[in-house]
Amino acid sequence: MPSYRAPLKDMAFVLNDVLRLEKYANLEGFAEATPDLVAAVLEEGAKFCENELQPLNLPGDMEGCTRHPDGSVTTPKGFKEAYRKFVEGGWPGLTMPTEYGGQGLPHVVGFAFEEMMISANLSFAMYPGLTAGAVAALHATASDEIKNTYLPKMVEGVWSGTMNLTEPHCGTDLGLIRTKAVPDDDGSYAITGTKIFISAGEHDLTENIIHLVLAKLPDAPEGTKGISLFVVPKFLVNPDGSLGERNAVTCGAIEEKMGIHANSTCVLNYDGAKGWIVGEPNDGLKNMFIMMNAARLGVGMQGLALSEVAYQNAAAYARERLQGRALSGPKNPDAKADPIIVHPDVRRMLMDARAFNEAARALAYWGGLMVDLTYKAESEEERGTADDIVSLLTPVIKGVFTDLGYLNATQSQQVWGGHGYIRESGMEQFVRDARITMIYEGTNGIQALDLVGRKLGQNNGRALQAFFRIVGDFIKEHGDGEMAAFSEPLAAALKDLQAATMWLMEHGRKNPEDAGAAAVDYMHLMGLVALGHMWGQMAKAALDRLADGSGDRAFYENKLKTGRYFMRRILPETATRLAKLRTGAEPLMALDADAF
C-alpha cells in the first residue's frame, strides 16, 4: 500500500527561511500568520490528510463514483464522512474572505495545505478545489445579492461549486459555445444546453451544488465576445436561505475515465434551469477567467503534489528492494544483494523528482504569496508587480509542473519495476491521476500559447521585464563564494531565456506559426529559469542557516546537494530548448496534412 508523509519541514523552510513570511506581518491576514500559528495549522492539516484522506485514495480509485437511475451520484465509501470532518475542521474557509465566514489566512498558507490534500487524495481535493475557484469568481464579480445568497454556505463548505465551460463540440475554442440563456420576467434566465466533463458536477458530499455556467444571451455577438456567466444552483435558494425546489439541471452520465475515479466527471443537462447573471452581459469569459486562473495554479499544484507523493513511495521502495550489487562493490555484504538505491540510474530518477519537487514547492508558494500581494501589498507599484508576476507565471506553473509531475510519476513508477505496474502498489494510480493535469484547465499546449501569445506582450512586456529584473538582480547580488555554483548556471539559463525571447520577437511577429511552434519549448525554458531561481534562493537561505549554526545541519546540507544536482543536471536543458525553438515552424509544418 502506498503511503504519504506531509513534508512539513520542507514547507516550513520555504515559508520561513526562503519567503520569510514574517516580513509581511503588517499586511491584512499576515499578522495572524505567525510561524507558530502556521506550523500548528499545517501540522493539523497534515494529520487530516495523512490519516483521513490518504487511506481513501487507493480504495476510492478502485470503487469510483456511482450514478443512480434518478441521476444522483454517490462518491466512494468513506468520502462523505471525510468531507464532513473536513467541514467540521474549518478547512474549507482557511484562506477565504472573512466577511463571508472564512478565516482570511494568506493564500500562501492555503497553498501548503492544498499540496498536502492533493498528495493524499487528488480526487477528494478536487471537490473543495473547485468550490474555492467558484468563490473567488463570485467574490470578485457578482452582485451583493448573489454573494450574500451563496458565499457563506460555500465558504463553510456545506455547498460546493463547479465550473461549466466545456460542451461536446467545444473545449479549447469557447467561442463555439451553444448553451443558451433566455431572460425571464423576474430577472432570472432560463439556461438550456449540455455541458460535458464537469468535475464534481453531481455528488453526495454537500447539500447544494452551485454551478458557474458559460452561456449565450439571445442577441449575443458571435464568438468569445458573446459569452456571459451565470450562477445556477442545483437547488433553488429561498429568500430565508433555506433550500427550495430542485432546479432543472441533471446529471445525464458520469464518464468512465483513465484516472481520478473518485471525482465525478459529469454530463450536465440544463433544461430551462433557473440562473442569474454574474457581472455584465457578454463579460462572462473575463469573469470566468478569475476562476480559471485560480484553478490553473491549483492544477499546477496537482503536478507538484503527485510528483511528491510518487517520489516518496519510490524513495522508500528503493531503500528496501534488494537487486544486484553496487558498481563500486557490495554495500550490503550480509545479504545477497544491495538495495536498488545504490544504482546511479535509480538515483537519477529519484533525484530528478526530488530536485523538481523542492524548487516547484518554493515557486508555487512564491506564486501564492504574489496572489496575496496583488490584493494586500501597501503600494500600488508592489500590487501591480505582484499581479504581473502571477499573470506571467500562471501558465508556466500549470504547464511545466504538470508535464514534469506526470514525468516524475512515471519515473517513480519505474523505480518500482514490474511491481509499479501492479495496482496494489498505488504507483500506477499516481501516473493515471497525473495524466489529466496536463489536459484540463486548458491543455498544456494552450498554456504555452497563452504565455507566448498574450502574457509576454501584455503592457509592453512589463511582466517579463519584472521577471528578468528579479532573477538578474539575484544573480548580481549572489555571484560569489559558494553561491557561484548556483548563480553562474542560473545566469547562463537566463541568457538562454533572453535569447529565446529575442528570437520570438523577431520571428513570431513575422510568422505566427514560428511562435506557435516555439511556445512549449519557451514555456519550459521559462519554467527552468524560474525553478533555478528558486534553487538560488533556497541555497542562499540554507547557507545562511549553516553559517549562523541554527537548525538541522544535515537538512540544509541536503538542500545544497539537491540544489547543485538541479543546477548541473537539469538546468542545462535550457540550451536544448533554445536550440529546438530556434528551428521555427518549418520542420513541423513540412509534411502536407494528407501525408499524416
Between residues 1 and 588, which has the closer beta carbon with respect to ligand FAD? 588
Question: What's the CA gap between 296 and 44, in Å, rounded?
Answer: 26
Show contacts with ligand FAD in window 167-186 (CB under 6 A).
Answer: 171-172
Residue 163 binds to ligand FAD (criterion: CB under 6 A): yes
Concatenated DSSP letters of 413-443: HHHTGGGGGSGGGSHHHHHHHHHHHTTSSS-
Residue type, 479: G
Between residues 261 and 478, which has the closer beta carbon with respect to ligand FAD? 261
Question: What's the CA gap between 310 and 427, in Å, rounded?
Answer: 7
Stretch that binds ligand FAD, among 32-40, 41-49, 104-112, 434-442 (CB under 6 A): 434-442
Between residues 289 and 555, which has the closer beta carbon with respect to ligand FAD? 289
Stretch that binds ligand FAD, among 160-168, 231-239, 277-285, 527-535 (CB under 6 A): 160-168
Other beta carbons within 10 angstroms of residue 481's beta carbon come to 9
Cβ at position 172, least distance to ligand FAD in Å: 3
What cell was used for 407? 514525468
Between residues 147 and 296, which has the closer beta carbon with respect to ligand FAD? 296
Stretch that binds ligand FAD, among 46-54, 140-148, 438-446, 503-511 (CB under 6 A): 438-446
Strands 243-246 and 249-254 turn out to be unpaired
Show contacts with ligand FAD in window 230-259 (CB under 6 A).
Answer: 257
Q: Of 409, 406, 414, 408, give the one whose Cα is nearest residue 435.
A: 406
Show contacts with ligand FAD in window 184-203 (CB under 6 A).
Answer: 197-199
Cβ at position 266, least distance to ligand FAD in Å: 9
What cell was used for 173? 475554442
| Cβ contacts of 201 within 8 Å, gap of 6 or more | 162, 164, 195, 209, 211, 251, 264, 265, 266, 267, 268
Q: What residue has cell string 504581473?
A: 388
Show contacts with ligand FAD in window 260-319 (CB under 6 A).
Answer: 265
Q: Of 458, 346, 467, 359, give the one whose Cα is nearest residue 412.
A: 346
Q: Is 557 a catalytic site residue?
A: no
Q: Of 345, 481, 360, 357, give the one whose Cα is nearest residue 415.
A: 345
Cβ at position 442, least distance to ligand FAD in Å: 5
Cβ at position 75, least distance to ligand FAD in Å: 15
* Closest residue to ligand FAD: CB criterion: 171
Between residues 108 and 165, which has the closer beta carbon with respect to ligand FAD? 165
Residue 445 binds to ligand FAD (criterion: CB under 6 A): yes
Residue 442 binds to ligand FAD (criterion: CB under 6 A): yes
Cβ at position 589, least distance to ligand FAD in Å: 13
Residue 64 binds to ligand FAD (criterion: CB under 6 A): no
**202, 358, 428, 441: the active-site residue:** 441
Secondary structure class of 251 (helix, strand, coil): strand
Q: Is the dihedral of CA 512, 518, 520, 525 positive or negative?
A: negative
Between residues 95 and 160, which has the closer beta carbon with respect to ligand FAD? 160
Cβ at position 257, least distance to ligand FAD in Å: 6
Between helices 144-156 and 122-141, what is the axis angle to 10°? Answer: 160
Stretch that binds ligand FAD, among 107-115, 146-154, 166-174, 185-193 (CB under 6 A): 166-174
What cell was used for 310? 510518487
Cβ at position 168, least distance to ligand FAD in Å: 9
Between residues 296 and 533, which has the closer beta carbon with respect to ligand FAD? 296
What cell was used for 16? 520561513
With CB under 6 A as the contact rule, the residue among 446, 526, 542, 543 that binds ligand FAD is 446
Cβ at position 61, least distance to ligand FAD in Å: 14
Q: Distances in Å between the alpha carbon of 494 and those of 369, 403, 490, 527, 528? A: 23, 21, 6, 11, 9
Other beta carbons within 10 angstroms of residue 196's beta carbon come to 20
Residue 164 binds to ligand FAD (criterion: CB under 6 A): yes
Residues that bind ligand FAD (CB under 6 A): 163-166, 171-172, 197-199, 257, 265, 436, 439-443, 445-446, 449
Q: Report, as residue numbers or ranges, the catalytic residues.
A: 441
